[in-house]
Each structure stands twice: as C-alpha cells, then as structure tokens.
C-alpha cells in the first residue's frame, strides 16, 4: 500500500504517473496500477498506455542476461 499511497500523492500534482518495474517486481507494479484504477474509479483515475520490454544486465558472475520490464501509465481522466 505504500506504493499506492505514493502514486496517489504524485497524481494529486501531475496529470499522469508512470509505474516502472523489472524482473520479479512486475507483479507488484501491476497490482499497484490495478488498485488505483479499481478502488479510486470514482476519483477519476485510469490505466493508460502500457509498455513492455527487456533490458540486458550483467549478472554478478559476469554473464549477460535479459530482464523483463514494464511501464504502466496511470492518469487522471478528463
């Protein structure tokens, strides 16, 4: 809920906010966006554009690995 609260504070000052995550945190980012869109529907927030991709990162053992990424736009309606 800390991420939800933080996002709502940002949305009070901005027309849209992007929630970005990679790897195992993607599920948490989706949950935050869904909670805001569903629980604050009457307040006028919705999910906008969603981008998915991957990044190449070097692991501790020196190998290059691809990590999934997501970027979710949460915006004020109107």
In terms of pTM, does the model score above 0.75?
A: yes
Which tokens sit at 49?
A: 């554009």
Helix (H) or strand (E) holding 67: strand 64-76
Asked whether 49 and 73 are in contact (CB, 8 A), the reply is yes
Q: Whose CA is closest to 72, among 36, 42, 39, 41?
A: 36
pLDDT above 70: residue 78: no
Distance (Å, whole) CA 22 – CA 75: 21
CATH architecture label of 1-76: 2-Layer Sandwich (3.30)
Quote the pLDDT of residue 18.
Answer: 97
């Amino acid at each position: 809920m800390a991420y939800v609260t933080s996002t709502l504070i940002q949305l009070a000052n901005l027309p849209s906010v992007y929630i970005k995550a990679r790897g195992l945190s993607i599920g948490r980012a989706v949950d935050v966006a869904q909670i805001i869109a569903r629980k604050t529907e009457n307040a006028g927030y919705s999910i906008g554009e969603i981008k998915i991709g991957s990044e190449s990162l070097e692991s501790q053992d020196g190998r290059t690995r691809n990590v999934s990424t997501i970027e979710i736009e949460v915006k004020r309606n109107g």
